[in-house]
């Protein structure tokens, strides 16, 4: 009986030590920072999501959110030229009001709530044996990178998001 009790104790401790894959602790800290920022900004902010390629192309969208709803999206697409420090603008547009979501190019119109949800439920949940997984919070604790790259992929393979320039949105008075 003494051995059975010890065996049961070991098995119980072993099973309690097993746990589901936890969400990245950096994600949890960043998500807490996001909730604080969201409250202090009245859920009104803007951020820039971007993509840069080794080939010299660069694209970014500024997403503006007011009271938790996307109200504007601005897009810029450039590429480097043969002239040093020179770029060509290939596309530039802005949407708001009735024109919102009328362009097919550009980045998805996601609120940061949606970005954090996709990071947690999609981009950070892929198979770690097949992918390198990234999460960074370099925007004063807020998300700056979330996504994954299949192992062995060399260039432009990130599935996820880069975020910069998160700012409180203050409606301009005209």
Which 3-state string (H, E, C) describes the chain? Answer: CHHHHHHHHHHHHHHHHCCCCCCCHHHHHHHHHHHHHHHHCCCCEEEEEEEECCCCEEEEEEEEEECCEEEEEEEEEEEECCCCCCEEEEEEEEEEHHHCCCCCCCCCCCCHHHHHHHHHHHHCCCCCCCEEEEEECCECCECCEEEEEECCCCCCCCEEEEEEEEEECCCCCC
pTM, 2 dp: 0.81
Total count of domains within the chain = 1
Evaluate whether 123 touches 148 at the Cβ level (below 8 Å): yes
Question: Does a structural domain hold residue 14?
Answer: no
Question: Does a structural domain hold residue 6?
Answer: no
Segments forming the whole domain that contains residue 116: 21-168
What is the residue-level pLDDT of the chain in tens, covering all 174 positions? 444 444 333 434 343 333 444 557 799 999 999 999 999 999 999 999 999 988 889 999 999 999 999 999 999 999 988 787 788 899 999 999 999 999 988 899 999 999 999 999 999 999 999 999 999 999 999 999 999 999 999 888 999 999 999 999 987 655
| Sequence-ordered list of residues with C-beta below 8 angstroms from that of 37, at least 6 positions apart, any chain | 45, 142, 166
Question: Does a structural domain hold residue 61?
Answer: yes
Question: Does a structural domain hold residue 34?
Answer: yes
Question: Does a structural domain hold residue 4?
Answer: no
Question: Does a structural domain hold residue 115?
Answer: yes
Question: Does a structural domain hold residue 9?
Answer: no
Residue 15 is predicted with a pLDDT of 39
């Amino acid at each position: 009986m003494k051995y059975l009790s010890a065996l049961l104790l070991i098995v119980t401790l072993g099973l309690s030590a097993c746990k589901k894959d936890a969400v990245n602790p950096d994600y949890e800290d960043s998500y807490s920072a996001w909730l604080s920022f969201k409250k202090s900004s009245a859920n009104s902010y803007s951020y820039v999501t971007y993509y840069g390629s080794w080939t010299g192309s660069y694209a970014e969208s500024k997403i503006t959110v007011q009271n938790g709803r996307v109200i504007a999206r601005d897009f810029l697409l450039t590429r480097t030229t043969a002239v040093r420090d020179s770029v060509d603008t290939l596309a530039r547009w802005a949407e708001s009001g009735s024109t919102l979501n009328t362009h097919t190019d550009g980045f998805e119109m996601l609120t940061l709530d949606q970005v954090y949800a996709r990071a947690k439920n999609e981009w950070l949940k892929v198979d770690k044996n097949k992918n390198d997984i990234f999460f960074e919070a370099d925007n004063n604790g807020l998300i700056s990178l979330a996504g994954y790259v299949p192992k062995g992929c060399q260039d432009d393979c990130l599935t996820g998001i880069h975020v910069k320039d998160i700012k409180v949105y203050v409606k301009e008075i005209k």
